[in-house]
Every structure is written in C-alpha cells, then in structure tokens.
Chains A and B, each alone.
Chain A
C-alpha cells in the first residue's frame, strides 16, 4: 500500500490541501487503482511488432489571424472574472517575500 508520506507528498506536488481523514481513504483508493492500471506493464510482451508510440511533437508556425485576435473585445469580461482587481489589473500575491529562503 502507498504510504501516508507518499500521499502527502503527492498532494504537495498537486497543490491540493487535503481534508480531514482524506489521507487514509486516498491510501486505499490510490493503491487499488494503481494496482489495476499496472496491468499495462504486461503490454510489450504481447506483440511481435515493435510499438512506436504516437506521441511526438508536431511543430507549426504561428499564423496571424486576419481579424487580429479571437478574443478581441473580451478584456472587460476577463477582468470581471479576476478574484481581486485594482485599476483594471488582476491583483495577485507578492511572490518574492523577504522572509523566504
């Protein structure tokens, strides 16, 4: 079973604050699900043809739109959605703080 520490570490990486008692239920659920999806480890031995995964980067050049911007005129609507704004700007917390390492 996946350990308590691993679940807590995953939550930190995923930027999710867990709720009371959630670690224990996640230990059980995540262990069971990982065991189930772990079946894929058998996949390579099941074929005679080498498998080339489809995933690869396809590069393309940026093409400017004839009308300039797909979201032109939506600035105000986007601003209204900000949790906190001042003078038309999104207000966010200061990232570099004196007391940090």
Chain B
C-alpha cells in the first residue's frame, strides 16, 4: 500500500479533508481496497458494512454544509473506523464473536457509538475478538483466529485482535476495542499500534457487552499517540446511562514530574531478550530526553494475576448468566426449562467461556468464596494502595506491555500458559488506572513490541506526553 490514503494517520487525514485535498469517500475506498486485499487472510473483520461508502458520502455532505456555514467540524468527521464486535451499533449484528449471539442484532447504540456518530465517523465494520473478550490472542473467536499483519503464522493478540490488526494493516484509520485485562494493549503491542486503556469510568460502557464489570473499559487503537488522544477525547465523558462513569474533574490534575518508575524486580526471568533490549533502549532514550528513571517496588504484584483471574471468573460467570436462550440469541430446546438453558449455553458458548463460567461458579460457591474471591478483593485493595503510593512520586510506571512478541498460532493451547502472559497488563485493570501501550523501536525484521505506561487515575494526558516522547525517540533512531 505504498501511496494509499489508508496509510494516513487520523490527524493527517483530518488535515487533508479540512483542506479539501481528499474526501471521506476517497479515504473509505482506500481502506476498502486494503480490506479486499488482506482481510481474507487476516480475518480482522467479521463483517464489513455494505453502506460504508454511503456513510462516507453523507460525511462529505455534512462537511460541505458546515464549510458553507463557516462552522467547525470534529477531527473525526469522515474518518473510517473499525469497531470491536462487543460494542452495540443499532441495527447491526453484535456477536462478541460467539455462536450464542451469531445472529443477534443490536437494538440500540452504545454511548461511545452515539458520540462517534455525532462526530460523523464512517463505520467500516465489526472486528474479530476472543469470544466475549475472554482470552489473549483472538484464538477463542467462534469465527476463526485473526492473524498478525506482520507475520500471518502468528496471532494478532487479544482480545481486541481484529481491531489492532485492522489498524496495523491499513484496513481502518483507527478502531475501538475494549480492555478487561489488557485486551487493547496486548494486541496493540503484538501488531505495532498504539492502544489506550482509559481510567476506569472515564468512558461510558453503556452498550458494551459486560465481561468483567469492575475491569472493563472501552479504549482506542490507533497508529499514533495523537490519534489515540483524538479518539479518547471523542468517546470519554460521564454518562447517566453508566453509573460507574466519572467526570473529567473527579481526579485532580498532577503536574509532570519527569520521573518514570521502573519495577526492576518484575523484569527478571520470563521476558524475551529482544523485548528486554528494546525496553532498555527506550528507557535510555527517555532518560536522554530529560526523564529521570526511578527504581520502584510493587511487592503485591506477585498476587496480581491470581487476583485478576479469580475476579474475572467470578464476574464472567455472573455477567454471562443473562445468555439463556429465552430473550435473544441461540435458543435450543431440551426436555425442561432448565435443560433449555443448559443446551443453549452448552452449544452457544465456546470452550474457554464454558471453562471460565465454571471456574467462576466454583470460586463463588459457599465453601470457597472466602478462600478465593474474599482473598482476591483484599489483594486488590492492597495492590491499589501500593500503586497509589508509587504514583505519588513518579509520572508513570513503565514495563514492557507483553513479555514477548506475537507467538505462533496454537502455541499456547494450555489455558494457564495464556493467562500468565498478562502479567504486565492486569494491574491497571485491578486498580482502575489508565495505561498506554506504544510501539518500541526494534531491530529491522523483528516483530513489533510495545512499552506500557501506567499513570495515576485521570492522568491520560501524562500518558499521551510519555507516549509522544517514545514516538519521538523511535523516529530519531529510525
């Protein structure tokens, strides 16, 4: 795609649209050409909307009308985006990549979609994911794995693998994903794009299918940090339809300290050498640019994965109990009402979803509740306290986003080996802090890997500053 418009960032495209050099129809067609070329192999989109060009034409008309009236427009007007399949768009199928919702049509717009519609975005299609956002590689989709645009024998990451692959391959200018334990940052790292998990509550979840309600956040995937900011600005904000959403002013702004905390005790074994080298080099570049590196310790992080998964299982088993074949979705008939439920759920849910529901049922059962869920909530509080203390002294905590680059499809068939790959990402979900993954400089021919920054609650702007500093350093080296 040498000279394709699909290569443009959102900011660049918005400038060209504004200047009248290109139209949204041009941009949308350029993305559709890339989709035509690569989606067959990559399986990033589960569905490409047939009316994408019509939406672009409408956006061009809105622009023409606004220009003639001298009104300013959103930087997202006419920008073609991809949407993860667990975010509701009225009148479109929303399956969460599950057989149980294969033919389910959304009855209303998610708040984030309403906001993007108001901005005049072009929706290209819905993207592949791990079923109900449970996984870390998009291999748990009921509709086939999404492949990594850098190497088609490897996974795109997950659970927002389709969204990340679509952006990386120029099949969309940006995308929305959702992040429960790293589901935006993990595929961003594997595919070489930017991914943001906002502060818990900064983005409304009305119309996002609930996986783990105390972790879930909608987040943008983009080519640049500036684009991630444009998308975040467009979707954030308090929403009366989501009682967990918070206002921008809830958290006091913290001035930049130019200090980055590095938990060296976490960076020992288990991290691939190339990732480690890229991480050290990125930190060295930031140090050269005036950031002080501070050694920090997070002792409770040794419990983070166990705490995360217990909470995940518990909330998933509860949230997914709504899928029973009675009101919508796959409905199978057994010989009683209870067997109707069991048949619909048994056939509708894939293996990982079934496993997690059963694990959640176990950890919440009377005899085990205190030993698992009770302990997990205590560990979660302890970790939050530690993280807050550390973040009062530094702007952000830096780690690699993932301990390794994208792995081969099928390489992690054992569920536990997949879970432990989330070591760096789950903390921000446990504590509700915002976190950003930005591609690091790698040797040519190497697979993409990301650096992750975790900042204080409400400090997305700090993350954008740090992310831009990494981009600057990366371009300098390149």
Residue numbers of A with Cβ under 8 A of B are: 7, 10-19, 22, 26, 29-30, 32-34, 36-44, 46-47, 49, 51-55, 60, 65, 70-71, 74, 77-78, 80-84, 90, 92-93, 95, 97
18 A-B pairs within 8 Å (CB atoms) are namely A10-B362, A13-B365, A15-B321, A15-B338, A16-B345, A16-B346, A17-B343, A18-B346, A32-B416, A33-B415, A40-B379, A46-B300, A55-B377, A74-B108, A78-B107, A78-B327, A78-B328, A82-B327
Provide the residues of chain B in CB contact with A19, threshold 8 Å: 346
Please give me the residue from chain B that is nearest to A63 by CB atom: B240
B90 nearest CB across to chain A (Å): 8
Please give me the residue from chain A that is nearest to B346 by CB atom: A17
B107 near A33 with CB under 8 A, answer: no
Please give me the residue from chain A that is nearest to B331 by CB atom: A83
A94 nearest CB across to chain B (Å): 8
CA distance A32 to B340 in the complex (A): 31
B326 near A51 with CB under 8 A, answer: no
CA distance A49 to B104 in the complex (A): 49
Q: Does B361 contact A (CB under 8 A)?
A: yes
Stretch with Cβ within 8 A of A (4 or more), from B32-40, B268-276, B368-376, B398-406: B368-376
B361 near A10 with CB under 8 A, answer: yes
Instruction: Given A18-B346, A32-B416, A40-B306, check contact A90 B340 (CB 8 Å).
Output: no
Could you say which of B317, B339, B377 contacts A14, with CB atoms under 8 Å apart? B317
Since A17-B343, A36-B419, A81-B105 are in contact, a sample of 19 more A-B pairs with Cβ atoms closer than 8 Å, ordered by chain A residue number, is A12-B342, A15-B324, A16-B358, A17-B342, A33-B415, A36-B305, A40-B303, A40-B310, A41-B371, A42-B303, A43-B303, A43-B378, A51-B379, A54-B377, A81-B107, A81-B327, A82-B327, A90-B326, A92-B337
Stretch with Cβ within 8 A of A (4 or more), from B74-82, B380-388, B448-456: B380-388
Instruction: Given A14-B358, A17-B346, A43-B303, check contact A33 B328 (CB 8 Å).
Output: no
Closest 8 CB pairs of A and B: A17-B346, A83-B331, A77-B107, A81-B328, A53-B377, A40-B375, A17-B342, A37-B306
CA distance A8 to B310 in the complex (A): 20
CA distance A34 to B419 in the complex (A): 12
CA distance A46 to B300 in the complex (A): 8
Provide the residues of chain B in CB contact with A18, threshold 8 Å: 346, 354
A90 near B358 with CB under 8 A, answer: no
Provide the residues of chain B in CB contact with A82, threshold 8 Å: 327-328
CA distance A71 to B302 in the complex (A): 44
CA distance A30 to B382 in the complex (A): 27
| Chain B interface, number of residues (Cβ within 8 angstroms) | 68
CA distance A86 to B331 in the complex (A): 16
Provide the residues of chain A in CB contact with B317, threshold 8 Å: 14
Please give me the residue from chain B that is nearest to A53 by CB atom: B377
A26 nearest CB across to chain B (Å): 7
A16 near B331 with CB under 8 A, answer: no
Q: Does B253 contact A (CB under 8 A)?
A: no
B415 near A29 with CB under 8 A, answer: yes
Residue numbers of B with Cβ under 8 A of A are: 90-91, 104-105, 107-108, 240-241, 243, 299-300, 302-303, 305-307, 309-310, 317, 321, 324-329, 331, 334, 336-343, 345-347, 349, 351, 354-355, 357-363, 365, 371-372, 374-382, 384-385, 414-416, 419
B358 near A26 with CB under 8 A, answer: yes
CA distance A26 to B104 in the complex (A): 29
CA distance A52 to B331 in the complex (A): 43
Could you say which of B336, B362, B375 contacts A41, with CB atoms under 8 Å apart? B375
Please give me the residue from chain A that is nearest to B111 by CB atom: A70
A86 nearest CB across to chain B (Å): 14
Provide the residues of chain A in CB contact with B240, threshold 8 Å: 65
A77 nearest CB across to chain B (Å): 4
Provide the residues of chain B in CB contact with A33, threshold 8 Å: 309, 359, 415-416, 419
CA distance A95 to B324 in the complex (A): 14
B365 near A37 with CB under 8 A, answer: no
Could you say which of B328, B378, B385, B415 contacts A83, with CB atoms under 8 Å apart? B328
Could you say which of A7, A54, A92, A93 contacts B358, with CB atoms under 8 Å apart? A7
A51 near B381 with CB under 8 A, answer: yes
A10 near B358 with CB under 8 A, answer: yes
Please give me the residue from chain B that is nearest to A55 by CB atom: B377
A3 nearest CB across to chain B (Å): 12
B309 near A37 with CB under 8 A, answer: yes
A39 near B378 with CB under 8 A, answer: no
Provide the residues of chain B in CB contact with A83, threshold 8 Å: 325-329, 331
CA distance A46 to B306 in the complex (A): 15
Provide the residues of chain B in CB contact with A43, threshold 8 Å: 300, 303, 375, 378-379, 382
* Residue among A16, A54, A77, A93 facing the most chain B CB atoms (10 A cut-off): A16
Could you say which of A14, A32, A70, A92 contacts B361, with CB atoms under 8 Å apart? A14
* Residue among A22, A36, A40 facing the most chain B CB atoms (10 A cut-off): A40
Instruction: Given A40-B306, A40-B310, check contact A47 B382 (CB 8 Å).
Output: yes
